[in-house]
Structure 1
């Protein structure tokens, strides 16, 4: 399936396994239904969000809630997104391009890696 016109940097299945998320250099999060048969250039996302001003480098999908997605970008920002409303729930400025994000066990905290700094919030 062609998920973007630019390079896709991160892809994740939802916890239920019925959807897949792509995150790309165009700064967009896209969610696709796995059972959709219109793959190739005709694939139509269920959700599309312009999440970052620059490339999305990394992401994570909550294992407890299929609607919560975490993204990290070259715009130095980390975003926590509610896919249902297409709203950003939280944003962090990390002062460097973000290379990695993850939900910590229990998903009460997230960890980020940006430049020489690892932090959890």
Structure 2
């Protein structure tokens, strides 16, 4: 009887260990410059932030200002980022220069990369 309990507990413990769980990562934008930067985004339903937008443009972009060294959370992703990108388009305006990403592939290129490619986790867009 005792052997049966040990086998059952061992099986249950191994099942718990082998059951995978998708990791949950935050998606952030970080201003690493010495100047205030503007972020213009066309948000998706997965866009979530506590930061107040300063205004909305006529063409549907919400504008957020990031102070130097400020980071804002704009959403989260479960495992891969492909289905959880929180904006359809993003424009980053710093020192009069504009970086624009208007499709999924262009947006994915903005995220910080690992040494051998692929986005780092948690997901972050660094403005330098």
Q: TM-score, normalised by structure 1?
A: 0.26
- The structure number with the bigger radius of gyration is 2
Higher relative contact order (CA 8 A, sep 6+): 2
1 or 2, which has the higher helix percentage? 2
1 or 2, which has the higher strand percentage? 1
